Amino acid sequence: MDKPEITQAMINAYDEYTHLTLDRRSFMDKLTKLAGSAGAAAVIAPMLAASKASAEIVLANDERLKAQDVSYPGGSGEMKGYLVEPKEASGKLGSVIVIHENRGLNPHIRDVARRTALEGFVALAPDFLSPLGGTPENEDQAREMFGKLEPAATVANAEASLKYLKTLPSANGNVGAIGFCWGGGVVNNLATQSPELKAGVAYYGAQPKAGVANIKAALMLHYAGLDERINAGIDAYKKELEANGKSFQIFVYDGVNHAFNNDTSAARYDKKAADLAWSRTIEFLKKNLA
């Protein structure tokens, strides 16, 4: 079989499945109709999803880094996470909370934490499914667990992650956050609640429903041009940020899909947009967390 064509309708169906109301069976039925056969749908589905096999850009045993699984006090109960620091650093470093998508703390997000540490930060990737026992191996199971999380408790656990980073001897006390998809929404909500957050970077994250006037952090907001679901909230968010005199930048990357930064998803990853957004992100965090 030749490599099947992946259409925008297929990508939209996958987005509906992962973020909205479509269940696995309904998604595969819809994909089969779009692809023309069950065989083609079976080939296309893994291309739309993320592949753990391609998750490592920075190896887990990279000799330039010190990486470890850690536990620390959460908003209520124990939080688990993945902490990565450069082995050789001159002076104390800014810290970054790396907040996962709605698949939990998986190999890709661990890799993003290592990439962040290589840029000269102390990076912590919390497992926000810790209150429910932690991220399971099965990513569909993980996705279903997110509906059981209380938004206020999640923000409290993000704030607890910030406070944990401020206690580390290698850290300078300035903490920022990067979040992707579900995690982008957490960054936006954390910014409305945390006076100590210095910088927030939200990749295609849902906008906060309230509290914009409370934001103290500088914000950088990355959006995918084809992401109609999330982009519907940009204008109202921008208007509120402007009205309240907040420091923010908004970038919309034309012609790319939600999750364009996730290089483990062959269908949605866009290297040009991802590289540009990442370079902007690192420059922004270095400026605000020094």
- Which has the higher per-residue pLDDT, 255 or 24? 255
pLDDT in tens, 200-216: 999 999 999 999 999 99
82 pLDDT higher than 50 = yes
Q: Which of 128, 130, 129, 123 is nearest to 83 (CA)?
A: 123
pLDDT mean across residues, the chain: 91
Report the alpha-carbon distance of residue 252 to residue 43 in Å, rounded: 31
pLDDT of residue 6: 77
Q: Which of 6-15, 31-40, 224-233, 261-270 has the highest mean pLDDT?
A: 224-233
- Report the C-alpha dihedral over residues 15, 16, 18, 24, rounded to 10 degrees: -120
What mean pLDDT comes out for the span 13-21? 69
Q: Which of 107, 10, 117 is nearest to 51 (CA)?
A: 107
> Where residue 279 falls among pLDDT bands split at 50, 70, 90?
very high
Q: Which of 1, 22, 4 is nearest to 13 (CA)?
A: 22
pLDDT of residue 51: 59
pLDDT of residue 53: 46
Comma-separated ranges of CATH 3.40.50.1820 domains in the chain: 52-289
Report the alpha-carbon distance of residue 257 to residue 11 in Å, rounded: 8
54 pLDDT higher than 60 = no
Report the alpha-carbon distance of residue 183 to residue 44 in Å, rounded: 26
- Which has the higher per-residue pLDDT, 65 or 53? 65
pLDDT in tens, 121-148: 999 999 999 999 999 998 889 988 999 9
- Which CATH class name applies to 52-289? alpha beta
> Where residue 10 falls among pLDDT bands split at 50, 70, 90?
confident
pLDDT of residue 56: 77
pLDDT in tens, 105-125: 999 999 999 999 999 999 999
pLDDT of residue 22: 56
> Where residue 35 falls among pLDDT bands split at 50, 70, 90?
confident
Cβ atoms 226, 8 nearer than 8 A: yes
pLDDT of residue 52: 54
pLDDT of residue 267: 78
Cβ atoms 104, 142 nearer than 8 A: yes
Report the alpha-carbon distance of residue 98 to residue 109 in Å, rounded: 7
How buried is 91 (Cβ within 10 angstroms: 0-12 exposed, 13-18 middle, 19+ buried)? exposed
Cβ atoms 228, 257 nearer than 8 A: no
Residue where the block lists tokens 């990486």: 67
What mean pLDDT comes out for the span 255-259? 94
pLDDT of residue 252: 98
> Where residue 42 falls among pLDDT bands split at 50, 70, 90?
confident
Tokens of 239: 């208007």
User: Which residues, including other chains, have CB under 8 Å from residue 277's CB and lie 6 or more apart?
Assistant: 203, 222, 251, 253, 260, 261
pLDDT of residue 21: 61
User: For 87, how many CA atoms within 13 A lie in the half-sphere containing its CB?
Assistant: 7
